[in-house]
Amino acid sequence: NAGVTQTPKFQVLKTGQSMTLQCAQDMNHEYMSWYRQDPGMGLRLIHYSVGAGITDQGEVPNGYNVSRSTTEDFPLRLLSAAPSQTSVYFCASSYSIGGEAEQFFGPGTRLTVL
Amino acid sequence: SQQGEEDPQALSIQEGENATMNCSYKTSINNLQWYRQNSGRGLVHLILIRSNEREKHSGRLRVTLDTSKKSSSLLITASRAADTASYFCATDIAGKSTFGDGTTLTVKP
C-alpha cells in the first residue's frame, strides 16, 4: 500500500494563479480531509469529505474548492492564489469520521505564493 | 479559536529522561488523539483515548484523560534522540478534527 500520496511536493505560484493539489489514497477510506499548517502552528481544517460526492467546509475554506468524484481521490483547488495561502498542505484519510479513528497523513505539499 | 492547546510550547530534555506534555480543550469530546510530526514530514498517529477511558499505554507512551478538567497528558518515558519531534493533540467536534499548536520536544543525546 502506498498510503496517502500528494503531488506536487513543492510549488511556487504567482498571485492570482490557480492550481490543483492532488491527493490519493489506496486504503479504501471513506473520510478524507485537507489541512494547512502555517509555521509553528497546528493544522487547520480546510475541507473534508465523508464519501464520494459529499464534501463540506472546515475551519478555513475561503479561497479553496474541493470535489470527490471517487473514493480514492480528493483534489484541492486554489482558485486565485494569494500570499496568505503560502503554507504546507496536508491531505489525510481515515476509515471513519475525523475523530473516531486515526488519520493517515500524506507527506505534504509546500506552497509558496509570491 | 483552537479547541486543543498544548503546553509547554517547547521542551528540551536529556536522553533517558521522561517528557510530559499537556493538552487542554474547551468543549466535551468523544475521544482525543495524539500525533507526532517529525520535521518536514506529515503527522503520524500515536494513540487514541476515548472519553470513558482514563489512561492508556502504548510502548513507552502513556496518555491520561481527565474529562472533568478537559485535559490530557502525554508521557514519553526513557526518551531517545529519535523522539525529537512536535507532538499534537487532536479533538473532534461534529466529525471535524481540531489540532492544537503542538509541543516541540528536543531530546539531547
B43 CB neighbours in chain A (<8 A) are 43, 90, 92, 103, 105
Question: A27: number of CA atoms within 13 Å, CB side?
Answer: 20
Among chain A residues, the shortest Cα distance to B89 is held by: A42
B72 CB neighbours in chain A (<8 A) are none
**Could you report the per-residue pLDDT of B62-82, keeping only the tens digit for each?**
999 999 999 999 999 999 999
Query: Which residue among A50, A100, A106 sits closest to B31, beta carbon to beta carbon?
Result: A100
Task: Determine whether the interchain pair B42/A107 forms a contact, defined as Cβ–Cβ distance below 8 Å.
Answer: yes
CA distance A30 to B82: 33
pLDDT(A51) > 50: yes
Residue A34 near residue A88 (C-beta atoms within 8 A): no
**Could you report the per-residue pLDDT of A7-38, keeping only the tens digit for each?**
999 999 999 999 999 999 999 999 999 999 99
Interface test with A, best of B97, B103, B104 (most A CBs within 10 A): B97
Which range scores top for mean pLDDT: A69-83, A88-102, B89-103? A69-83
Smallest Cα–Cα separation from A47: which of A26, A71, A68, A72? A68
CA distance A19 to A75: 10
CA distance A18 to A20: 7
- Beta strands per DSSP E along B15-102: 19-25, 31-37, 43-50, 55-58, 61-66, 71-76, 85-93, 96-99
Residue A24 has phi, psi (to 5 degrees) of: -140, 145
Q: Which residue has the higher pLDDT, A74 or B28?
A: A74
